[in-house]
Amino acid sequence: MKDILFVCQANIGRSQMAEGFYNFLTHSDFATSAGVVDVRAKVNNALPPEAVTVMRERGVDISHHQIKLLTPEMCQEARKVVVLCDRALCPTFLLKLRRVVFKPVKDLSAYQLQAARKVRDEVEQIVYSILAS
């Protein structure tokens, strides 16, 4: 069982960053992440280099992370689910859970370093607030 599941649209940016920060800060592998849209084939199953680069700037290596598609089982196994994308993108099985928290963060779809840094900083603050509570 994972303590926390971070969810975003494609699992190539926001949720991967959150998983990386959480596991780095807790010296664990208690977090995982997933996306609500399957983009693995479209992006050749790789995270954008900008996401990897800006996380390395904080000392967190997410280069080994795999893109995962959200399943009902993942939601059931997590003690807490944090959704980082728009609620409208979420499947019904996710919306029905009581342990879901919505913390939308703008998508880094522009894939520019400055935009990725801004997203990273926002995700980092969310993870810190979760750990503080």
**CA quadruple 16, 22, 28, 31: dihedral positive or negative?**
negative
Enter the tokens of residue 75. 């939601």
pTM for the complete prediction? 0.94
Q: Is the pLDDT of residue 106 over 80?
A: yes
Catalytic residue IDs: 8, 85, 90
Mind listing the pLDDT tens digit for each residue in 41-93? Answer: 777 778 989 999 999 999 999 999 999 999 999 999 999 999 999 999 999 99
pLDDT of residue 39: 83
Cα–Cα distance measured from residue 15 to residue 42, given in angstroms and rounded to the nearest whole number = 18
Q: What is the total count of domains within the chain?
A: 1
What is the CATH classification number for the domain harbouring 81? 3.40.50.2300
One-letter amino acid for residue 119 of the chain: V
Range of the domain at 78: 4-132
